[in-house]
């Protein structure tokens, strides 16, 4: 499995956490690897409470992580550092994020309550769904 991940955000410790999480998740699951190979676009994670942001440039089997929010990011997830781990607890069922158990309902409540803001939620659902799948530790 060649993940081809390049991290240009060395000054952002959070970038290594995301890189390690993605690497571990994808290497453990052939299904996640297949999803990763299909990904094309830019997703960003913004954690304003710790003044940290990274952009993840996916290009069909390769990933470049850069500091900050790329202006071309199709998906931007903005939340607090304490909430970001809840996103990783989403279960995947039938190849899709599952929002009908405790973890999923918690994330939905945070989205509807404004604790998690997602740019691209409705305009880029494929990239967001694939990103959720490879980020999920479940």
pLDDT at 90: 79
pTM of the model: 0.91
With residues binned 3-state (H G I as helix, E B as strand, rest as coil), the percentages for the chain, rounded to 5, are: 40, 25, 30
The string of pLDDT tens digits covering residues 22-45 is 999 999 999 999 999 999 999 999
The string of pLDDT tens digits covering residues 47-101 is 999 999 999 999 999 999 999 999 999 999 999 988 887 777 778 887 778 888 8
Answer for the pair 39, 58: CB distance below 8 angstroms, yes or no. Answer: yes
What domains can you pick out in the chain, each with its CATH number? 5-135 (3.30.1050.10)
pLDDT at 3: 92
């Amino acid at each position: 499995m060649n993940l081809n991940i390049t991290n240009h955000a060395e000054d952002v410790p959070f970038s290594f956490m995301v890189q390690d999480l993605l690497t571990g998740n994808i290497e453990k699951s052939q299904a996640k690897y297949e999803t990763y190979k299909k990904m094309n676009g830019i997703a960003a994670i913004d954690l304003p409470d710790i003044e940290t942001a990274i952009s993840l440039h996916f290009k069909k089997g390769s990933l470049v992580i850069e500091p900050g929010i790329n202006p071309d990011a199709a998906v931007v997830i903005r939340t607090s550092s304490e909430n970001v781990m809840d996103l990783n607890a989403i279960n995947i069922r039938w190849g899709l994020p599952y929002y009908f158990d405790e973890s999923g309902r918690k994330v939905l409540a945070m989205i509807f309550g404004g604790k998690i803001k997602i740019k691209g939620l409705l305009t880029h659902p494929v990239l967001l769904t694939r990103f959720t799948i490879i980020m999920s530790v479940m």
